[in-house]
Structure 1
Amino acid sequence: MIRAARVLPLLLLPLLLVSCGTEEAGAGADTGAAGADAGTGGTDKGTGSPADPAELAARARALGIAPEHVYVTGAPGFAVAQQSVGVFGGDGFHTAYFSQKTHAQFELFVDRGTLTAENCPKTQVGQGSGEAVTCERDGDGWYRKAGGRHEYAVPRDGHVIRLVGDANGPARAVLRAAAEAAHHPDAAELTALLPPAPEGAATEPVERGDLPPVGDGAPDNEVGASG
C-alpha cells in the first residue's frame, strides 16, 4: 500500500520558487539524462566522488528518511526544488524537479515495496485517488497511467523509485530518462540536497530499553524497564 506523503504540496512549488529567488539544489540541475531509448535499469550514475555513507545516513535519518531511499536524478532543463525535499510515508524519500523555462514539473518518490505484474494495476500512480491504473512493462521498470497522471516506476532492492508527472506536463520520454538516471547522490549532490545533520545526530537506529526481548514488542512499563 502506498502511504500518504508528508511533503510540500506540489502545486505550491512554482510560487515558492519565485518568492524564494528560485532556490534550487545542484543535484540534477540541467544535467543530461540518458537517452529515452535506453533501458530503465542500471546502477548508480553519480559522476563525482561518492558521498560518505555515515554523512548520508546522518543527514537522511535527521529527516526521518532511510539512507537507501535517497536518490537524485537528472533531466535537461529541470532542477531540484529544495523546498520539496522531505520524507515520504514512513521512511521514504520525496523531491520535485521543476523547469523554469516550461514550468513543467515532476516528482521523485522512493518507498519500500516492489512492483509486479500482479500488484502494478492495484498500486496508485503518485498520490492518486483511485482511478484505474494501466501498466506497461518497459525494460526493468513500468510505465503507468491513471487519470491525468503518468509515471515510470523502477523496482530496486526492497524499494521502488517512481518518477511522476501530469500527463500534459513532462513527456513520457522525460520521465523514462529521469528514471534511468536515478542514482544515490555523490558528495556534491548530497551537500546540495540534504541539510547537515544536527550535532550528535545518530547514524543508526536508537535501541529502546523498554521493549521486551520476547512477545509482541509492546513497551514494558514496569519500574526500571528503561534502566
Structure 2
Amino acid sequence: MTRPTRVLPVLLLAPVLLTACGSEKAGADPASGTSVRTAEAAGQGELDARAQALGVAPELVHVTEAPGFTLARQSVGVLGDDGFSATWVSRETGAHLRLSVDRGSITAATCPEQPVGDMPGERTSCERDGDAWYRTGAGRHEYAVPGRGHVVRVSGELDAVPRDVLRGAALAAHRPDDAEAAALLPSAEPVPGAPVERGDLPPAGDGAPDNNVDVGG
C-alpha cells in the first residue's frame, strides 16, 4: 500500500520525532525531553494508554517523515471520534504537512465527495496514483492511502508543498515503533485515585459560609 504525507496548522515548533533527512529515530533529539533509552523502555500498554488519553484509537496512530520537516508536537491529537492527526513544519519555509488517519474508506465513487483538508462544500478532483489517490481542492492537495478500515491522508497547501514531497510523505507514513510512539505521544496524565482533601475546611459541616449574623449584620 502507498503511504501519505503531512499537512496543516500553524503551531509552535517543538523538536521531536523526524529530522530533515529522516535518518534519525524519533526521540533522538535531546531537546525533545524524551531520550531514546526512555522511548525504548516504554511498553505497548503505556503507549496505548498515551493514545487513549488523547482520545485516539492506538491502531490509528501513524508517523511519517519528509526532508526539512519537523514534527510540531503540540499538534498531535484526536481527529473526529477516535482518529489521529499531527502536523510537520518546514524549518526553512514554514510550510505545513498534515498527517491524518481516520476510519472509513475511499474509492473512485466516493473520492470526489470527500473534501480535501476538511473543507466541506469545495469541489474535489481525484487522480489515481498507484495504491493512493491524489486529490486537490480548496487551495490544498492531498494524498489519501486506503488501509484496512481506515484512510491515511497527508495534505498541504498547493503553493507551499510540492506534490513530490506530499507523495513521499504519504508513502513514508507507517505505524510507529515503540521509540517513535514514545517520542510522538505525550505522557498520559495520572488519574486521581481519590478526592483531594483540603486543609482549609472546618472538620464539621459542609464548609459553607456562616450566615447566622446579628440584626443589621
Classify the TM-score, shorter chain: 0.7 to 0.9
Match of 2:83?
92
2: CA distance between counterparts of 1:107 and 1:31?
A: 18
Shift of 1:51: 7.2
Please say if residues 141 and 154 of structure 1, whose CA atoms lie closer than 8 Å, have aligned partners that are also in contact.
yes
Runs of 4+ in 1 over 6 A off after TM superposition: 48-51
Aligned residue pair count:
170
1: CA distance between counterparts of 2:140 and 2:171?
A: 19
Please say if residues 146 and 152 of structure 2, whose CA atoms lie closer than 8 Å, have aligned partners that are also in contact.
yes
Please say if residues 51 and 185 of structure 1, whose CA atoms lie closer than 8 Å, have aligned partners that are also in contact.
no
Q: What is the TM-score with the length of structure 1 in the denominator?
A: 0.69
Q: 2:98 aligns with which of 100, 103, 107?
A: 107
- Superposition map of 1:185-200 within 5 A: 185-199=176-190
Shift of 1:198: 3.2
- Superposition map of 1:133-144 within 5 A: 133-144=124-135
Q: Deviations over 1:160-209 (max 9, x none)?
A: 000010000111101110011101111221121111223469xxxxxxxx
- Superposition map of 1:6-21 within 5 A: 10=9, 12-13=10-11, 16-17=12-13
Match of 1:29?
19
Match of 1:37?
none
Please say if residues 44 and 178 of structure 2, whose CA atoms lie closer than 8 Å, have aligned partners that are also in contact.
no
One-letter amino acid matched to 2:19: A
Three-state SS of the structure 2 residue aligned to 1:175 is helix
Please say if residues 151 and 164 of structure 1, whose CA atoms lie closer than 8 Å, have aligned partners that are also in contact.
yes
Q: 1:154 aligns with which of 138, 141, 145?
A: 145
Larger Rg: 2
Matched, 1:124 2:115: yes
Q: 2:157 aligns with which of 152, 166, 181?
A: 166
2: CA distance between counterparts of 1:51 and 1:171?
A: 36
Shift of 1:32: 3.8
Three-state SS of the structure 2 residue aligned to 1:165 is strand
1: CA distance between counterparts of 2:41 and 2:108?
A: 34
Shift of 1:107: 0.5
Q: 1:179 aligns with which of 170, 177, 200?
A: 170
Please say if residues 47 and 182 of structure 2, whose CA atoms lie closer than 8 Å, have aligned partners that are also in contact.
no
Match of 2:209?
none
Q: What is the TM-score with the length of structure 2 in the denominator?
A: 0.73
Match of 2:36?
none
Shift of 1:102: 1.5
What is the percent sequence identity of the aligned residues?
52
Higher relative contact order (CA 8 A, sep 6+): 2
One-letter amino acid matched to 1:73: T
Please say if residues 50 and 185 of structure 1, whose CA atoms lie closer than 8 Å, have aligned partners that are also in contact.
no
Consecutive unaligned residues of structure 2, counting only runs of 5 or more, are 1-7, 24-38, 193-217
Shift of 1:92: 0.4
Three-state SS of the structure 2 residue aligned to 1:121 is helix
Q: Deviations over 1:33-53 (max 9, x none)?
A: 9xxxxxxxxxxxxxx979743
Three-state SS of the structure 1 residue aligned to 2:117 is coil
Match of 2:59?
68
Consecutive unaligned residues of structure 1, counting only runs of 5 or more, are 1-8, 18-22, 34-47, 202-227
Match of 2:211?
none
